[in-house]
Amino acid sequence: MSDNIATLRLRTETKPTDVRAVADTVQKVPLGPVPSRAGAGRIAHSHTSAAHAAEIGGDLHEAVTVPGGVRITVADIQSKGLPAVRGAAVVPAAFRQAAPHAARPSGVDERIEQALKRRTDGERLVTAVLAEVGDDGGVRLLNFGHPAPPIRRGAGSVELAEPPVPGPPLGLDCGTDAQPGAGRVRLRPGDRILFPPTA
C-alpha cells in the first residue's frame, strides 16, 4: 500500500513540472528567431513560462533587423490559455510583416491594430512596447500601456524610458485621436536597455 501512495505522490509532484514544460513550448511556437546582433549592438533574450500548472500566458517578444538598426517589440496579451496562444500568434506575425517595410514605427503598430481587429474571439487587449534602435544609439519608443524599459547606463545608473504621456493598450479601438506614448532616448557604449514583460 505504501508503495502505491509513494508512486501516486511522485506522479503528482512531477505533473506541474511537465505541464510547465508543455506551456513553455507552446508559448515559444509563434515566436521567430531573435538576431543576436544588430549593427553595433547585441541582443540577448529569454522566454521562460512562469505560468502555474496549465495556465499559459500571452507574453511575447520579437526583433527584426532593418537598415540602420533593429525593430523590437515586447508585448503581453491580456488573456490566459488558448486565447493567449492565439493572440501570441497574431501579434508577432503582424509585427514581422510590417517591421521590415514600415517607413516609421507607428506604421508597425497600425498593422498590429488591424490584425487584432480581425480577431473574432474578443481577446484583443495587448500592452506593448515597440522600439526602433538605431546603429547610432538613438532609440525611438512607442509604449502602449506596458512597463517602461529600464536603461542601465555604463556608469551604473538606472533610468526608465518612460513616455511623457502614457499611451493606451493596443486593441482598445480608441479612435484616431488616441496616440501611443512616444519617446526617444540615446544609448552610449556600455549602456543596456531591457524590455520587460508585464509583472
CA angle 99, 102, 103 (to 5 degrees): 135
Note the pLDDT of residue 53: 44
Q: Checking DSSP bridges between strand 126-134 and strand 59-66, what pairing results, if any? A: unpaired
Q: Which residue has the cell 515586447?
A: 74
CATH of domain 2-193: 3.60.40.10
The full set of domain ranges for the chain reads: 2-193
Name the pLDDT band for 141 (thresholds 50, 70, 90).
Answer: very high
Per the listing, cell 518612460 goes with: 162
The mean pLDDT value of the chain amounts to 76
For 37-93, how does the pLDDT look when each residue is reduced to its tens digit (9 = 90+)? 666 677 776 655 544 444 455 678 888 888 888 999 998 887 666 666 666 678 888
**Confidence check: pLDDT of 26 > 50:** no
